[in-house]
Amino acid sequence: MSSLQLIGGVCVCVCVCVCVCVCVCLLWFCRLTEMLSIQELIRKKRDGVALTDEDVRTFIQAVTQKTIQECQTGTNRQTDALLTSLPVSKPPLCSGAMLMAIWQKGMNITETVTLTREMMSSGEVLSWPKEWEGLVVDKHSTGGVGDKVSLVLAPALAACGCKVPMISGRGLAHTGGTLDKLESIPGFNINQSAAQILKILTSVGCCIVGQTERLVPADRVLYALRDATSTVDSLPLITGSIISKKGAESLTALVLDVKFGRAALYKDLDSAKELAQSLVSAGNGLGIRTGAVLSCMDGTIGRCVGNSLEVMESLEALKGRGPDDLMELVTTLGGLLLMMTGLVSDQSEGKKKISDAVIGGAALSKFQAMMEAQGVANETARTLCSAHTKDYSALRRSEHQMELKTSAEGVVQDVDGLVLAEVLHKLGAGRSKAGEPVNHSVGAELLVSVGQRVKKGVSWLRLHYESPAPTPDQIDRLKNALTLGTDARTQQTLVKELLLPHNTI
């Protein structure tokens, strides 16, 4: 090899090394700049300064691109080592610090709407045919005991001419999940792509599905971080989580069932109303006509709690045999949505239209079509939806049943829904953390109602269980959930207040 070739080779090697060093330095500089930018945002929020739209956008983009949480958890060892060597303080808790700052200082409505919009825009946003304009609606509940409203409401709305791309969740702790209930139907597939959702809505008018990985990825990251940093109860973060997912559905109208009471997340009306107002403001800030219903959640909705049992009760409701409290929520929420879309002139007309869709059988037909479109065998769907029979043998039933009897004569004053849900959760009907399986057959049927006079020794609860069997302590808790008295008592309505975009009814 000549001297000239040797020199040329050395020069090439030097150039390559220089280029690599420059690239590494640029990456280092960009990362350092970003981290310093995030630190500045944390400092602003910590000091109570409102974040600008660009500030919020920077934070959400960093979360979605996984540059913040890697720094927090230390999963990126190279980055961790690099930051340690820098002449600045290492920010190992930058994402958690931002969430804690938001938890402490809160966000104004402008910040909250921007947070929600940026979370929504972090992934895929569904789109619909132009002819559906004004008809795409959905509902969200903050969670309750025996809350099977979606299973009746979605097909009823479809029967009234709406398009309902209902993206639902799973149960956690004592609250049940709509997806868990539907998965007790053999073959029901809650995993549908955007194209499949469009196809089902075109042919049926409603679907109930799980959140896809492409929808609102920022929410999945933030939710995990909120759990790790004890900021789950932050009002703006709750608002952003709920409304961003609904915004990604490109809705015309949204109604929120915000519950309060013994078996709800919020125990009193005032705190539930604060959340409802935040959700309504954020929804309308995204251009979605958004209203809320404040409903009491002390007992149970309907008489059945547990996945398979709630599907049975929902089918009974769709056949015109639903309990009054369940149908009160279905018609109130549905009537409000129909009014907000302009399909009816007022809520009373909307409630009647929803009721007629159920009583006339149109909603039941939509539910059957939805089941078939989402993977249920035609024969199974037809049998479950047969209007004149109660053949629910296709649904999983528990191996064991036990009936609890009244210990005295009296008038039923109360049934504690929280106690009932907590015991069923321990028996396998619910999950303690995401990803755990549930036993669809575990549940309970209430055999009495508030205000009913009962004699001593009358069965008031039928418990459905497998393994584990209920312990003596759990049985005692269930027995104590029933309160008897001497005073006459009437069943109270669940709906306490309605919030519309600009006023309260």
Active site residues: 140, 219, 226, 241, 245
Q: Would you tell me how many other CB atoms lie within 10 Å of the CB of residue 38?
A: 23
Cα 363 off chain centre by: 23
State the DSSP string of 327-381. Answer: HHHHHHHHHHHHHHHTSSSSHHHHHHHHHHHHHTTHHHHHHHHHHHHTT--HHHH
As given in the structure block, the two tokens for residue 423 are 């015991």
Contacts of 223 (CB under 8 A, 6+ apart): 241
Helices (H), 435-488: 472-481
Q: Which residue has the tokens 């209902």?
A: 166
Q: What angle do CA 121, 256, 314 make, to 5 degrees?
A: 115
Strands (E), 443-494: 443-446, 453-454, 459-465, 482-485
Rounded CA-CA distance 498/437 in Å is 36
Q: Using an 8 Å Cβ cutoff, are 111 and 59 in contact?
A: no
Q: What angle do CA 423, 424, 428 make, to 5 degrees?
A: 120
Report the length, in residues, of the chain.
Answer: 505
List C-alpha distances in Å: 188 to 150, 185, 310, 373.
Answer: 15, 6, 15, 9
The dihedral built from the CA positions of residue 83, 85, 89 and 90, taken in this order, carries a sign that is positive
Question: At 391, phi and psi to the nearest 5?
Answer: -85, 95
Q: Which residue has the tokens 């789950």?
A: 232
List C-alpha distances in Å: 66 to 74, 101, 420.
Answer: 12, 20, 41
Instruction: Give the DSSP H/E element, type plus range, for residue 496.
Output: strand 495-499
